[in-house]
Amino acid sequence: MRQLQCASGTALNEFHSFSKKENDWIFGHLAYDLKNETENMSSSKKDHIQFPDLFFYVPEIIIQLSEQVISIGMREENALEVYDQIMNSPKVMKSRMVQARIQNRFSQSEYIKVIRQLQQHILRGDCYEINFCQEFYDDNIEIDPLSTFWSLSKASPNPFSAFYRLHDKYLLCASPERYLKKVGELIYSQPIKGTWQRDLLNKEKDVENKRLLQQSSKERSENVMVVDLVRNDLSKVCLEGSVLVEELFGVYSFPQVHQLISTIKGTLKQGIEPVDIIRASFPMGSMTGAPKRRVLELIEEYERTKRGLFSGALGYISPTGDFDFNVVIRSILYNSTATYLSFQTGSGITFYSNPENEYEECLLKAQAIKKVLTG
């Protein structure tokens, strides 16, 4: 298998050379600590999962699904044999019980103390909004990654989900968020900022929660700050005047939560390559805050573990240069050799944030994963 694995430093230059040389479908990931390259920073926190900062490969088999058609592309195998294997595979996968002992990196009181410290940074003018995350983990657990992903997908089906394995490291992803999509000369980003709990047992209350989210000045202010940040990032690689907000404050409903999602699009300048777009916009604004450079420093100071692949991106680039990448959130990360399992959640902190409510939002976002892991 043709592949590229890099640490932050010259990773994006090597990625550019690799994609040009292969001129093929390539799949892979960008881990959060590529920020050390894009923003000239460093990191000292512990990474327990140890995905590389960048990994891409040319797959031997590609299967594309649509409502009516299965397309199978391959180098050497017989496509009909692969199709038969798919059609003869078990129709239902059995879920296996997982009894994780989930621990927190922050107690509730410790978390609230940090949020108040971050609000002092905001008061001093260091930043406007910061996405602060905390880790939940089990450091002695064995799971079956595929059946666990199956359980997670049933509990929390989402449009940017993925099962991803790199040797002994696994990403079980149930992400609702798109980082970037390129179609021809158009580029799209769809940041999520704004969360409200669903009430599936009471339809009227659920509709009311959706309305409260859309009208919340706090959630809207978080969202518009990220929209401005994304517009600024995309303007570096797009034609002047072409970066537009296609949808502002759209409310979308997922199994556990309602989310506030905005869509920003732009027309790329001539000669812009995928690597140029990544350099201009990574890490994504929804997982950092504004201004980006300063909040990256504060994240490094106040969070207790490396994010690793969490709040990075997973996706593909086509032979024509089009691509689609998600934001790695609502995800289980697992190192089977170390028997270490991790998932992180965060929220956007502003001066007007209520620390207790922000802590509850983190628990709400972790709800589906915790249910899968603890029953």
The mean pLDDT value of the chain amounts to 94
Give the CATH number, domain containing residue 295. 3.60.120.10
State pLDDT tens for residues 91-119: 767 767 788 999 999 999 999 999 999 99
Grade residue 211 by pLDDT with cuts at 50, 70 and 90: very high
Q: Phi first, then psi: what are they for 213, rounded to 5°?
A: -65, -50
- Rounded-to-integer distance, Cα 270 and Cα 195, Å: 37
Q: Among the options 177, 300, 358, 361, which is catalytic?
A: 177
Q: Is residue 118 part of a domain?
A: yes
177 is annotated as an active-site residue: yes
* Predicted structure pTM score: 0.95
Of 22, 116, 68, nearest in space to 318 by CA: 22
pLDDT at 159 over 80: yes
Is 73 a domain residue? no
Choose the weakest-confidence range: 201-205, 226-230, 245-249, 363-367. 363-367
Say yes or no to pLDDT of 129 above 90.
yes
Instruction: Domain of residue 347: give its range.
Output: 3-59+93-374
* In a domain? residue 144: yes
Confidence of residue 65 (pLDDT cuts 50, 70, 90): confident
Q: Which H helix or E strand runs over 258?
A: strand 257-267
Give the per-residue pLDDT at 174.
96
Instruction: Please give the angle made by the CA atoms of 289, 294 and 296, to the nearest 5 degrees.
Output: 65
281-309 per-position pLDDT tens digit:
999 999 999 999 999 999 999 999 999 99
Helices 203-215 and 217-235, packing angle to 10 deg: 60
Contact 234, 280 (CB under 8 A): yes
Average pLDDT for 125-129 = 95
Higher pLDDT, 82 or 112: 112
Read off the pLDDT of each residue in 26-47 and give the average, rounded to a whole number: 95
Dist CA 72 CA 325 (whole Å) = 21
Residue 142 lies in a domain: yes
Instruction: Please confirm, yes or no, whether 193 is among the known catalytic residues.
Output: yes
| Adjacent-strand bridge partners of 5 | 55
Reply yes or no on whether the pLDDT at 182 is more than 80: yes
- Cα–Cα dist 24/75, whole Å: 11
* Residue 174 within a domain: yes
- Report if residue 86 sits inside a domain: no
At residue 354, the pLDDT reads 95
In this prediction, residue 321 carries a pLDDT of: 93
Could you tell me if residue 140 is inside a domain? yes
Q: Which residue among the candidates 35, 169, 193, 292 is catalytic per the annotation?
A: 193
Q: Look at residue 82 and tell me if it is in a domain.
A: no
> Rounded CA gap, 36 and 13, in Å?
14
What is the model's pLDDT at position 99? 87
Name the residue with higher pLDDT: 218 or 30. Answer: 30
Domain count of the chain? Answer: 1
Residue 69 pLDDT greater than 90, yes or no: no
